[in-house]
Copies of this chain bind each other. A is one copy, B any other.
């Protein structure tokens, strides 16, 4: 069973959580990313659109989960990321970790969400109340980096 996955429909949180059950686990830490109505000081976010490079994304996601299992004393860890259009308040990403003790559960949960955000090829387009939209982390680069054009692989 895969421990990292993409989902184009709502995530069944109870089912996700149940997969981490373990009679030796005394701690369960989870993290959810929710679509919020503001980002980097800009209000009026109406909805988000997530796009993923799925074939590479699931491999990188699985590597992150494997690293977490290797680095921390945990029982299991799973992560699911939504793709497609999401409204404010919707769940965008879920991470769940079970462990004997809470130190490891918290540390692994934090590790996974941090790595997923930085390494898994997922892109987020924000749609604003004023009718504009933009790809997060890309538009600012595109705007500021005209002079650096061509240095993409420096």
Contacts and interface: CB of A to CB of B under 8 A. Distances in A.
A26 to B, nearest CB: 4
Interface stretch (A17-25, A127-135, A137-145): A17-25
Nearest to A35: B26
Interface stretch (A56-64, A76-84, A98-106): A98-106
B38 A34 contact: no
Contact of A106 (B21, B37, B89, B110): B110
A66 interface: no
Contacts of A26: 33-36, 39
Nearest to A103: B110
Given A14-B13, A113-B102, A25 B31 contact: no
Interface in A1-37: 13-14, 17, 21, 23-37
- Smallest CB-CB A-B distances: 7 pairs: A26-B36, A28-B32, A23-B37, A23-B88, A30-B30, A29-B31, A26-B34
